[in-house]
Amino acid sequence: MLMSEEAPVIVCAPDSFKGSAGAPAAAAALARGAAQAFPSARITQLPFADGGEGTLEALLTVWGTPARTVDVVDALGRPTTARYGLSADGRTAVIEAAQANGLPQVSDVPLEPERAGTYGVGLIASRVLEEGVDEILLCIGGSASTDGGTGIVTALGARFTDAAGEPIPPGGGGLASLSAIDDSGLDPRARAVRWRIAVDVDNPLTGPRGAAAVFGPQKGADAPAVERLDAGLTHVAEVLAGSAAEAESMAATPGFGAAGGIPLALTALLGAEVVPGSTMVAEAVGLSQSLADADLVLTGEGSFDSQSLGGKVVAAVRDHAPASASIIVVAGRVALTPAECREAGITAALSIAPGPADLSELSAQAEDLIESTAAHACALVAAGHQQAGHQPKGH
């Protein structure tokens, strides 16, 4: 209870404010603001993420472990360096695929959507396996590739060959020439570990909502390229499945269209699980345990809108919080009405914008604005419950 004789329990569990403040910085800012109103509170910082950009940073902060680096290649096969992380006990690894196949890494050259591949991601995974982990958390957003994950398993020892027995070209453009898959050379450790692939979309592998049609244009694919990439993914599914019915089912699976179809090869050849990103991160950071005794929960993100309530960070925090806790969202932009917030189980949502300002101005001051907004919100909570003389109502 916030206003009991005991110190109130406050948990600060935000997502990153994209382009303004990472989740760890946002959590620290929320905590500073909360401490102004509740100096005796027990405040926990729990940076959170939905499995996309920023997940590596958030997990490393919660785990208290440093990032590790490995030499890999980018989506076009050029040398680069990637970061990955290990849990404190060394049993779980987190990989952000975009460290090796992300669009930013190839933004210095014209995009090549049919040549871009995921081989570099497989090189990170190979290093992680050398660490002796039991589980790999693979975050796959922001990719430049559409190769169905074939590059990843190629780096781990599988062979994708054409009718002449030669390796098919890297990237999605070569998938149509696939004739056979030889997985006898796969690193046995790759099959022994548990793979969980974090997705934040429900797009199927192929078709009008598939990986190529929806995300291909963002990666530089014109209409003919989209058609070729879609056909290539369809063909790989057919070769992997062994039957038309199974291939059709595989291609229609929600989430398989994420990051150029990365789940396709990894589920078929490595037994990977596809899970909502926020669910995966919640388990990895122990969200339920951290929120169990919370009286007040502060969360937030760059833009709080209807999409925030569909499997994103705010929704996960709300779902794991105790019914007795008040939940306050601090965001760069709030697009929901007070009534919509109440209906969604959110006590209140406040924008950090102090007045008319453009995005660059807000970004430059993001951490200070998050802190001051949290301080205002918590001051209102404290004042309200001092006057009412009772514990906060549940959300």
Span 343-380, pLDDT tens digits: 999 999 999 987 666 667 667 788 999 999 999 999 98
Q: What percent of the chain has pLDDT over 90?
A: 73
Mean pLDDT across the chain, nearest whole number? 90
Q: What's the CA gap between 130 and 212, in Å, rounded?
A: 33
| Both structure tokens of 6 | 């005991």
The CATH code of the domain that includes 308 is 3.40.50.10350
Within a domain: residue 316?
yes
The answer to whether residues 219 and 181 belong to one domain is yes
Residue 137 is encoded by which pair of tokens? 């958390």
Q: Identify the burial level of 183 via C-beta atoms within 10 angstroms of its C-beta, where 0-12 means exposed, 13-18 middle and 19 or more buried.
A: middle
Is position 3 within any domain? no
Q: Which tops the pLDDT comparison, 85 or 53?
A: 85
The whole-angstrom separation of Cα 388 and Cα 384 is 6
Summarize the confidence of residues 305-321 as an average pLDDT.
Answer: 86
Q: Report which of 119, 165, 158, 157 is spatially closest to residue 260, judged by C-alpha positions.
A: 119
Mean pLDDT of 204-208: 95
Q: Which tokens sit at 34?
A: 């909360």
> Distance between CA 264 and CA 253 in Å, rounded?
10
* Torsion angles phi and psi, residue 297, rounded to 5: -120, 125
- Our measurement of the distance from residue 169's CA atom to the centroid of its chain's CA atoms, rounded to an integer in Å, reads 29
Q: Closest Cα partner for 328 from 341, 346, 316, 342?
A: 346
Same domain (yes/no): 248, 372:
no
- The pTM of this model reads 0.85
Q: Are residues 249 and 302 in the same domain?
A: no
Furthest CA-CA distance within the chain: 80
Are 182 and 204 in the same domain? Answer: yes
Q: Nearest 5°: CA angle at 107, between 101 and 110?
A: 105
Confirm whether 395 is domain-assigned. no
CA-to-CA distance for 221 and 198, rounded, in angstroms? 24
pLDDT of residue 5 exceeding 50, the answer is no
* The pLDDT of residue 356: 60
pLDDT digits (tens, 9 = 90+) for 284-300: 888 999 999 999 999 99
Q: Is residue 1 part of a domain?
A: no
**Is residue 141 predicted with pLDDT exceeding 90?**
no
| Domain finish residue from 258, 278, 298 | 278
pLDDT of residue 154: 98
The residue ranges of DSSP E strands in the chain, in sequence order, are: 9-12, 42-45, 68-73, 79-86, 92-96, 135-139, 159-161, 180-182, 194-199, 273-276, 296-304, 326-334, 348-351
Which residues form the domain of 361? 9-47+287-389
Instruction: Specify whether 82 is located in the same domain as 209.
Output: yes
CA separation for the pair 8, 4 (Å, rounded): 7
Look up residue 237 and give its two tokens.
């599914």
Whole-number pLDDT of residue 172: 96
Q: Quick one: pLDDT at residue 50?
A: 85
* Single residue among 257, 278, 299 that ends a domain in this structure: 278
CATH code, 252: 3.90.1510.10
